[in-house]
Amino acid sequence: MEYLILGLLMLAPMTGYELQRFIRQNLALICSHSAGSVQTALAKLEREGFVTAAETREGKRRKKTFSITEEGRAAFSGWVAQPMQADKVKNMELARLFFLGLADPTQRAAAIRDYIRQMKEMQAVLETIRERFRQIQAGELPPGQDWPAVFRFQGYTIEYGIAAARFEQEWYGKLLAELEEEV
C-alpha cells in the first residue's frame, strides 16, 4: 500500500480522502481501499519522512494534503525499478479449485458459475476504469510528468486485468461445461 500511495503522490499531491477515493475507483482490484489502510500507510510514510502533510481549513473542516518528499521519490524509484517477481503473485482461489473435488458434487457447478459471474463483473469494472482513464488522458493534465509514459503503463495494467478476466471466464466456462456434461 505504501508504494502505491507514493506512486499516486508522484502524480499529484492528494488528501487521504482523495487517495482512498482514487484507489476505490481505480485500484480496488489490486489492493484494499479502506480508510484505515490508507490512513495507516500515510502515517507510516510520514514517520519515515517519505511524505509531508500541509493542513488547511475549508470552513469548519481541516484538510490535510500529502506530498511526496525527495526521500519518498528515491524510495519509490528504487521500488519501481526492481524486477517484477512472479512468485509474489498469488491466487488463493486456486486453492478452492484444488480442493473442489472434496465438496458436495451439487455445489461444484454452482461455485464455478458464481466465480464466472464475478469475473464478468470484474471485467465490466475494468472496462469502466479503462474508459475513465481515456477521458482523463483527453483532458487537461498538470505539467511535470511524462503523461504518455504514465498512461501507457497504467493502460497495460488495465488491459492485463481485462484479458485475465476473459481468460478465467473462458477457462472456467470449459470446466463448467465438462461438469454439466457429467450430470
Quote the pLDDT of residue 114: 93
DSSP H helical segments within 23-141, as ranges? Answer: 35-47, 70-80, 93-99, 105-138
Q: How many domains does the chain have?
A: 2
Stretch among 24-38, 95-109, 164-178 having the lowest mean pLDDT: 24-38
Residue 95 and residue 79 share a domain: no
Higher local confidence (pLDDT), 24 or 155: 155
Domain boundary among 62, 85, 108: 85
Closest CA to 158 of 136, 180, 183: 136
Residue 102 and residue 66 share a domain: no
92 pLDDT tier (thresholds 50, 70, 90): confident
Domain boundary among 60, 85, 110: 85
Domain extent, residue 73, equals 1-85
Tens of pLDDT, residue by residue over 163-183, are 999 999 999 999 999 998 887
91 pLDDT tier (thresholds 50, 70, 90): confident
Domain boundary among 61, 85, 109: 85
CB contact at 8 A, 52 and 66:
yes
